[in-house]
Structures are given as structure tokens and as C-alpha cells.
């Protein structure tokens, strides 16, 4: 589990290196290696980070006697699967604007789940990392960030992101015109 800092996961493939995930504080790492003695990728710290290691066999034994822990682990595995499905959906037929909007919205939700602001956060990764993750060129990321700023959706200074119009960001990310009021209220308390 990431205690502080952040990590990225890369996988070596025949075509080269593929950036497959980012991990933030409070998130479990290594769920993709449960069924194999070798992990499919490598982890690289994006900043000074601390992690807490849980040998899976011990965690599994504890989960047998603790339903809450078992439920938590199943939830983590489920989130990991959803994340993989979302990434696949992002890379298939989405515009660069939709990809970046979804990426920022997803980061916002992840920070919010950990008790941080959903509207203001620091990107632990570089624009190059974001570009590799989203299957875009770095220049495309820079142009898209500029477009989002001109539209008043976000403000970016260095790696500091301030989401100014969450509804517009979510609408672009999901391909919808408007966001449901319930979803907006969920994050509005975070401002």
C-alpha cells in the first residue's frame, strides 16, 4: 500500500515500455500479481514515497477470518478491474480532450476518496507520463491543457491543478451534456 508519495507502473512489451497505472496514497499496489509468482511490470516512484508491504499469503489468511478485510480486498480488486476497463475505453475512440478530461476527473475522484481536495491537487506525474498513459503526444497534452484553461474548466500552474468547472470536465469526460445534480453535490462539499 502506498503510504505517501506516488508510483507509476510500467510493463516491458515487444513494442517498448507501456505505462499502465499510477498509484496514489492509500491505494494497493500489486493486485495484478496475485496469481503469478512474477509481477507483470515494474514500479517507479514519482516522488519521495513510502510503502507498506503486506505479504499476500498473510493478508489472505487474515481475510478468511475478517469479513471486513475480505470485503475491502474484493473492493480493491474490483476498482483495479474497473480502472483497466476505463483505460481501455479511453484508448478506444476517444478524442484527446475526452481522454485528458477523464484522466483529470479520475484523479480528482481518487484524491477525494483519500480525504484530499477533489478540486485542487498536485500532479505527481509529468506531462510526458500522462501522454504515455493516455496514448497521446506530449505536445497534444500541452495544447489540450491550454484549451481547458481558455474554456475556464481548469487552472494549471506547474503541476498544481485547480478544477474550476467540474460539471464541464465530467460532461466532456463522459460525453454527456450535463452532470446529474447528485454527482455535483457529492463533490461540492469539497470546495
CATH number for the domain that contains residue 85: 2.60.120.10
Q: Are residues 137 and 70 in the same domain?
A: no
CATH of the domain at 115: 1.10.10.10
- What residues make up the domain containing 110? 95-191
DSSP-based three-state secondary structure for 21: strand
Q: Are residues 111 and 82 in the same domain?
A: no
| Radius of gyration, alpha carbons of the chain | 17
The pLDDT tens digits of the residues spanning 143-190 come to 999 999 999 999 999 999 999 999 999 999 988 754 444 444 344 444
pLDDT higher at 142 or 38: 142
Last residue of a domain, one of 66, 92, 118: 92
Chain mean position to CA 129 = 12
Q: Are residues 77 and 155 in the same domain?
A: no
Q: What is the C-alpha separation between 141 and 73, in angstroms, rounded?
A: 34
Q: Are residues 183 and 99 in the same domain?
A: yes
> Are 21 and 90 a contacting pair, CB within 8 Å?
no
Long-range contacts formed by 108-117: CB under 8 A, 24+ apart: 108/163, 108/166, 108/169, 108/187, 110/24, 110/27, 111/24, 112/187, 112/190, 113/26, 114/24, 114/25, 114/26, 117/190
**What is the pLDDT at residue 39?**
79
Q: Are residues 11 and 38 in the same domain?
A: yes
Q: Cell triple for residue 86? A: 476505463
Q: What is the C-alpha separation between 106 and 2, in angstroms, rounded?
A: 18
The pLDDT tens digits of the residues spanning 83-120 come to 777 767 766 778 999 999 999 999 999 999 889 999 99
> Are 108 and 120 a contacting pair, CB within 8 Å?
no
Q: Are residues 99 and 181 in the same domain?
A: yes
pLDDT higher at 8 or 75: 8
**What is the pLDDT at residue 181?**
41
Q: Are residues 19 and 66 in the same domain?
A: yes
Q: Are residues 3 and 82 in the same domain?
A: yes
Q: Are residues 101 and 82 in the same domain?
A: no
Chain mean position to CA 119 = 15
**What is the pLDDT at residue 90?**
64
Q: Are residues 51 and 140 in the same domain?
A: no
Q: What is the C-alpha separation between 83 and 62, in angstroms, rounded?
A: 26
**What is the pLDDT at residue 73?**
84
Q: Are residues 184 and 99 in the same domain?
A: yes
Q: Indicate the number of domains in the chain.
A: 2
Amino acid at each position: 500500500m502506498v503510504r505517501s508519495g506516488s508510483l507509476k507502473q510500467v510493463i516491458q512489451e515487444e513494442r517498448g515500455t507501456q505505462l499502465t497505472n499510477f498509484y496514489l496514497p492509500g491505494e494497493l499496489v500489486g493486485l495484478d500479481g496475485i496469481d503469478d509468482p512474477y509481477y507483470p511490470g515494474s514500479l517507479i516512484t514519482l516522488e519521495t514515497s513510502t510503502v507498506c508491504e503486506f505479504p499476500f499469503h498473510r493478508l489472505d489468511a487474515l481475510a478468511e477470518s475478517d469479513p471486513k478485510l475480505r470485503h475491502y480486498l474484493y473492493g480493491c480488486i474490483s476498482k483495479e478491474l474497473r480502472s483497466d476497463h476505463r483505460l481501455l475505453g479511453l484508448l478506444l475512440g476517444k478524442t484527446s480532450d475526452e481522454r485528458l478530461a477523464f484522466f483529470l476527473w479520475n484523479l480528482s475522484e481518487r484524491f477525494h476518496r483519500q480525504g484530499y481536495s477533489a478540486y485542487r491537487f498536485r500532479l505527481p506525474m509529468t506531462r510526458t507520463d500522462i501522454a504515455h498513459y493516455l496514448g497521446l503526444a506530449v505536445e497534444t497534452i500541452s495544447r489540450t491543457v491550454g484549451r481547458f484553461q481558455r474554456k475556464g474548466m481548469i487552472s494549471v500552474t506547474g503541476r498544481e491543478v485547480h478544477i474550476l468547472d467540474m460539471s464541464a470536465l465530467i460532461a466532456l469526460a463522459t460525453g454527456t451534456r450535463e452532470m446529474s445534480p447528485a454527482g455535483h453535490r457529492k463533490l461540492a462539499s469539497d470546495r
